Amino acid sequence: MKMQVSAQTIIRYYIMYLPVIFVQVAPFCCLLATLYTFARLNRDNEIIAMRASGLNILGIAKTIVVFGFIISMVVFWVSDRFLPQALVLNQKLKYQMDSKPKKGQEKEKEKETISNLSMYGLRNRLFFVNKFSPSTSTMEGIIVLEQDGHQNITRKIVSNKGVYSEDCWIFYQTITYDFDINGQVKNEPRYSDEEIMEISETPEEFLTQRQSPETMTIAQLNDYIWKLSKSGAINVVRRLKVDLYQRYTAPLLSLIIILLGIPFSLKMRKRATGISSLGISIMLAFLYYVFNAVSIALGKGEVLPPFLAASLSHLVALSFSLYMIFALP
């Protein structure tokens, strides 16, 4: 029975990679198909015949451009609907396959414990939690920093333990420090054995906000950015906006790379069709991905604005492809 479960887990693990493979491979396949198709038509003098009938290059390429737009929309849909869930399930399955069987209920609970959890919350709060158990909605080793609009610490709460019960957080063995505008402790620290905290975040939100942007849908990522913007985390919000805008612009890669491949394919001649198509596809795809990676890095490094960082490589490739198309004789 263990062998059967293990085999099913492995199969599911690789099935979860299908959306990832589709999103990554779709643009390259579109480029390869464009190069090979137009190069073959050009070799058989079909392009000359269509041009002689009065069609321009964009008229000839209209069908494949529409096809590229459809593929881009499908990639966008898969990236937002299936890819985040697939990545989350893939991580869980990988953990199941890598983890060794443990005996006893205590060791089973250890799997569910999250260590070193940190997140930004509402009301300009930073949470640092040593251990968080989702199954019992319990936190241990808690530090909460409250900030003003200029990211100056106004209050620090240190608690030994926190439990979520009846829609509220109850902290135990709590010490609260208040700070003045100069960052100095004012008044005496307040100690409490048990205190009900005004924290609106639920245990589910703690779990959601610890996810990476790749495992969030656009709606979840947008909501996460809104919450962080209320906390004054400007640098983090800026980097996340780059990821958000990239989710909108990245699917257009299939359409733009088709336009980029049209002028190159029309310049191919005779016997070099197949090999040239593959070689140019690899070269263009490599340059495109490198340029895009550099642009994203510049955006997260605060060199470029978030939207420009996410769209710069696509705008340059689109402009270059249209220039090459209109420059054809």
Give per-residue pLDDT as tens, 200-232: 888 877 776 656 777 788 888 887 787 667 655
Please give the sequence-ordered ranges of beta strands (E in DSSP) within the chain, or none if there are none.
114-121, 125-133, 138-147, 153-165, 168-179, 185-197
Domain for residue 234, yes or no?
no
Number of domains in the chain: 2
Domain for residue 236, yes or no?
no
Domain for residue 177, yes or no?
yes
- Judgement on whether residues 71 and 16 belong to the same structural domain of the protein: yes
**90-104, 162-176, 282-296: lowest mean pLDDT where?**
90-104
Mean pLDDT of 105-110: 46
- Judgement on whether residues 76 and 147 belong to the same structural domain of the protein: no
The residue among 180, 200, 220 that closes a domain is 200
**28-37, 299-308, 317-326: lowest mean pLDDT where?**
28-37
Take residue 178 and report the two structure tokens written for it. Answer: 């208040």
Domain for residue 260, yes or no?
yes
Q: What is the mean pLDDT of the chain?
A: 79
For residue 321, pLDDT over 70 is answered with: yes
% residues pLDDT > 90 (the chain): 17
Give the range of the structural domain holding residue 305, as residue numbers without chain letter.
2-86+241-326
Mean pLDDT of 129-155: 85
Domain for residue 253, yes or no?
yes
- Judgement on whether residues 74 and 14 belong to the same structural domain of the protein: yes
Q: Residue 185, class by beta-carbon neighbours within 10 Å (0-12 exposed, 13-18 middle, 19+ buried)? A: exposed
The pLDDT value recorded for residue 278 is 62
The pLDDT value recorded for residue 300 is 86
Which single residue is written with the structure tokens 């964009």?
Answer: 58
Take residue 242 and report the two structure tokens written for it. Answer: 């780059």
Q: Which one, of 213, 243, 219, 223, lies nearest residue 307 by Cα?
A: 243
Domain for residue 318, yes or no?
yes
Where is mean pLDDT largest: 31-45, 73-87, 244-258? 244-258
**197-201, 267-271, 280-284: lowest mean pLDDT where?**
267-271
Domain for residue 56, yes or no?
yes
Take residue 38 and report the two structure tokens written for it. Answer: 């137009």
CA angle, residues 257, 261, 262, in degrees to nearest 5: 125
Confidence band, pLDDT 50/70/90 cuts, at residue 328: confident
Q: Residue 40, class by beta-carbon neighbours within 10 Å (0-12 exposed, 13-18 middle, 19+ buried)? A: middle
% residues pLDDT > 70 (the chain): 79
Give 302 or 69, the one with higher predicted confidence: 69
C-alpha to C-alpha distance for 141 and 161, rounded to whole angstroms: 6
Mean pLDDT of 151-180: 90
For residue 294, pLDDT over 70 is answered with: yes
The residue among 173, 200, 227 that closes a domain is 200
Confidence band, pLDDT 50/70/90 cuts, at residue 94: low
Confidence band, pLDDT 50/70/90 cuts, at residue 159: very high
Domain for residue 102, yes or no?
no
The residue among 148, 178, 200 that closes a domain is 200
For residue 275, pLDDT over 90 is answered with: no
Could you tell me the pTM of the whole model?
Answer: 0.66
Residue 104: DSSP 8-state: S
